[in-house]
């Protein structure tokens, strides 16, 4: 797991641009604390920061492939190829020889053997840049689900690229500019494929590759959600999900460094931890999150039970080496933590949800370098409440925005300026929803109800999941932890996406297929546990800290986010009691505005 950066210019000699490339690469130092590498030729400069996970001694990058004493291709790469051993054997049979045990060298030789079609053979999470010295072309590749980030900015006569926007912003030819629609995206966390908040910046879309040549940048899809008939009955579907999960976890526990799981006590993380425990030769390590609170945990309509006790029960069931990381309101509200998360994400953050994840993973780094996590299970198996609420399913918008009308100025539930909300935010959401609908793969045989659930599932996988994956990658890499996400294996995604909704809810509950596939591995209290979202602190001390920061913004005429606010509504929000129903929606909005103000202050983008 690493950070990559680079520059292609067909108009310049980049061999003299070492300092520029070094500045770009060093913005990614947290992603790769174990090593740094640079490689340059006339029209290309590639940088790499390394977090050594596979073959620590032999996997240094950028890595070159030679033929007859000449460089043929050079790769800088971030990620893991889980089937690299099978690919290596196949390549050896084809005549390739290897000098290392790394998956990087296998990936590079796969490109030499199969050209751009090599991507269809990869099983993993990856952001890859390959410079083909024979054609003087750059290939950028991103994994199918977008687990690993990869940004690029076309320039006249070339391109800049990097694992994170900060690498591109370090270049003299790129500056931060943002449109009102970009601000709306930042506030709502809505991520369309290819979306980036800054003008001129793009993400390589999941399942796509970008080829850069003298004629410019061209993008091509090599994988995406596809609709096809599912003929397996319930028993076969459940057993297929189980066998896929066993194979996936077997592949993803391979590492030459300490490995652990992130265990919440929910169905997803418990399933992954149980499968890992069956595969590993030593007790699995696991980590859970908990909070200090004056009144202890109090159930509410969203979070009906606390994670930590059930995670400990699950760990005891498996004989895991388990740790609970307990955080206080003061730790979560610390300005240095907000600053660290902002640097990590290059985006306005989720307040205590991001801060707690950062502090948890910072503690994990003391005992492990690789962590398995349960992202994508809710999007794939139908875990969110929105999948099961008629109002959300039937809304003419993204299901998770179905309540947005309750936040709008007409209902007095938002502190955002009405003109900005009605003139920018809602139209932006509407446009992106229509784009998402147009991309949904369909079957003519689907009933109207099945058609809608296919649409809903597609939108969760292509619009919500990318935000979840980006959050987990950027925060984990900020502390030097590689997070692997077994539920993002494309074979599992393709299979479950096409299973009829009746199978996905065959027991009348959320995530029925997953529960049935792993129930024998789990205590009944875990297997039957109702879906609980990622934990949030209930300590009113944290909300008071957020309100103090929000009040300072309202009072500061120079606060950069202030023009986006309805000041009367903002002042009214500050008069309401701490800890009432607003704890969910209103606190989240205040957190978002506070972190948006931090983002605008740090990046000072030009508003266009």
| Confidence at residue 581, expressed as pLDDT on a 0 to 100 scale | 40
What pLDDT was estimated at residue 168? 98
Predicted local confidence at residue 271, as pLDDT: 98
473-510 residue pLDDT tens: 999 999 999 999 999 999 999 999 999 999 999 999 99
Question: Would the pLDDT of 56 be above 80?
Answer: no
pLDDT surpassing 60 at residue 412: no
- Residues 517, 509: Cα–Cα separation, whole Å: 14
Instruction: Label the pairing between strands 177-178 and 137-142.
Output: unpaired
Residue closest to 578 by CA, chosen among 532, 554, 545, 604:
545
Mean pLDDT, residues 301-313 = 89
Q: Which pLDDT score, from 0 to 100, does residue 405 have?
A: 46
Residue 606: strand pairing partners: 177
Cβ–Cβ < 8 Å for 421, 408: yes
517-544 pLDDT, tens digit per residue, is 999 999 999 999 998 888 889 899 999 9
Average pLDDT, the chain: 93
Question: Residue 580 has what pLDDT?
Answer: 55
Q: Residue 406's pLDDT band (boundaries 50, 70, 90)?
A: very low
Residues involved in catalysis: 2
Q: What is the pLDDT of residue 1?
A: 61
> What is the C-alpha to C-alpha distance for residues 539 and 355, in angstroms, rounded to an integer?
14
pLDDT at 576: 85
Q: Are 112 and 73 in contact (CB under 8 A)?
A: yes
Give tens-digit pLDDT for 256-287: 899 999 999 999 999 999 999 999 999 999 99
Share of the chain above pLDDT 90, in %: 83
Contact 162, 168 (CB under 8 A): yes
pLDDT at 408: 46
Q: Which two tokens stand for residue 302?
A: 């969203």
Residue 98 has pLDDT above 90, yes or no: yes
Contacts of 80 (CB under 8 A, 6+ apart): 1, 53, 54, 103, 124, 125, 126, 252, 482, 484
Answer whether residue 136 shows pLDDT above 90.
yes
Summarised one tens digit per residue, pLDDT across range 65-77 is: 998 889 999 999 9
Model-level pTM? 0.95
CA separation for the pair 118, 134 (Å, rounded) = 17
Asked if the model's pLDDT at residue 123 lies above 70, the reply is yes
Q: Is the predicted pLDDT of residue 85 greater than 80, yes or no?
A: yes
Residue 583 has what pLDDT? 46
Asked whether residue 343 carries a pLDDT value surpassing 90, the answer given is: yes
Looking at residue 107, its pLDDT comes to 97
Adjacency order of strands within the sheet including 482-484: 321-327, 285-291, 259-262, 370-372, 482-484
- What's the rounded mean pLDDT across residues 340-348? 95
pLDDT at 188 over 90: no
């Amino acid at each position: 797991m690493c950070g990559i950066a680079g520059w292609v210019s067909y108009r310049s000699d980049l061999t003299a641009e070492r300092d520029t490339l070094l500045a770009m690469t060093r913005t990614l130092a947290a992603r790769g604390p174990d090593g740094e590498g640079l490689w340059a030729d006339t029209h290309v400069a590639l940088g790499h920061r390394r977090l050594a996970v596979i073959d620590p001694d032999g996997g240094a990058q950028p890595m070159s492939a030679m033929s007859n004493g000449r460089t043929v291709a050079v790769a800088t790469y971030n990620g893991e190829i889980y089937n690299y051993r099978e690919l290596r054997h196949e390549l050896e049979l084809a005549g390739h020889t290897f000098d290392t045990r790394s998956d990087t060298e296998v990936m590079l030789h796969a490109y030499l053997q199969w050209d751009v079609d090599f991507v269809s053979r990869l099983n993993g999470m990856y952001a890859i840049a390959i410079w083909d010295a024979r054609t003087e072309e750059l290939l950028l590749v991103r994994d199918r689900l977008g687990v690993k980030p990869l940004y690029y900015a076309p320039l006249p006569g070339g391109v800049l690229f990097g694992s994170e926007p900060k690498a591109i912003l370090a270049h003299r030819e790129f500056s931060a500019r943002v449109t009102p629609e970009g601000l709306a995206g930042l506030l709502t966390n809505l991520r369309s494929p290819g979306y980036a908040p800054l003008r001129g910046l793009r993400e390589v879309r999941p399942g796509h590759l970008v080829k850069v040549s003298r004629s410019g940048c061209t993008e091509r899809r090599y994988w995406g959600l596809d609709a096809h008939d599912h003929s397996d009955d319930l028993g076969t579907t459940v057993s297929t999900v189980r066998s896929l999960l066993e194979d996936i976890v077997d592949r993803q526990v391979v590492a030459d460094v300490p490995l652990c799981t992130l265990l919440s006590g929910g169905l997803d993380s418990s399933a992954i931890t149980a499968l890992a425990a069956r595969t590993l030769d030593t007790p699995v390590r696991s980590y859970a999150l908990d909070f200090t609170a004056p009144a202890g945990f109090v159930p509410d309509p969203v979070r009906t039970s606390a994670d930590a006790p059930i995670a400990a029960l699950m760990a005891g069931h498996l004989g895991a080496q388990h740790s609970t990381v307990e955080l206080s309101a003061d730790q979560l509200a610390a300005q240095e933590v907000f600053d660290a998360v902002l640097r990590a994400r290059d985006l306005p953050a989720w307040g205590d949800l991001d801060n707690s994840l950062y502090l948890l993973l910072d503690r994990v780094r003391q005992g492990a370098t690789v962590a398995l996590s349960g992202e994508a299970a809710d999007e794939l198996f139908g875990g969110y409440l929105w999948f099961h609420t008629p109002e959300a399913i039937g809304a003419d918008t993204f299901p998770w925005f179905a309540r947005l009308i309750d936040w709008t100025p007409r209902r007095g539930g938002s502190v955002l300026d009405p003109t900005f909300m009605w003139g920018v935010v809602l139209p932006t959401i509407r446009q992106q929803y229509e784009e998402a609908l147009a991309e949904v793969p369909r079957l003519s045989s689907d009933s109207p109800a099945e058609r809608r659930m296919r649409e809903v599932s597609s939108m969760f996988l292509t619009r919500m999941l990318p935000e979840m994956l980006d959050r987990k990658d950027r925060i984990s890499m900020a502390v030097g932890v590689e997070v692997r996400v077994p539920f993002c294996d494309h074979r599992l995604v393709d299979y479950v996406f096409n299973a009829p909704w009746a199978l996905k809810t065959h027991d009348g509950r959320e995530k029925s297929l997953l529960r049935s596939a792993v129930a024998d591995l789990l205590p009944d209290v875990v297997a039957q546990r109702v879906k609980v979202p990622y934990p949030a602190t209930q300590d009113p001390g944290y909300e008071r800290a957020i309100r103090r920061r929000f009040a300072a913004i309202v009072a500061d005429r120079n606060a950069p986010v202030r023009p986006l606010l309805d000041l009367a509504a903002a002042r009214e929000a500050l008069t309401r009691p701490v800890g009432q129903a607003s704890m969910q929606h209103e606190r989240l909005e205040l957190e978002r505005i506070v972190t948006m103000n931090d983002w605008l202050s740090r990046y000072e983008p030009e508003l266009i």
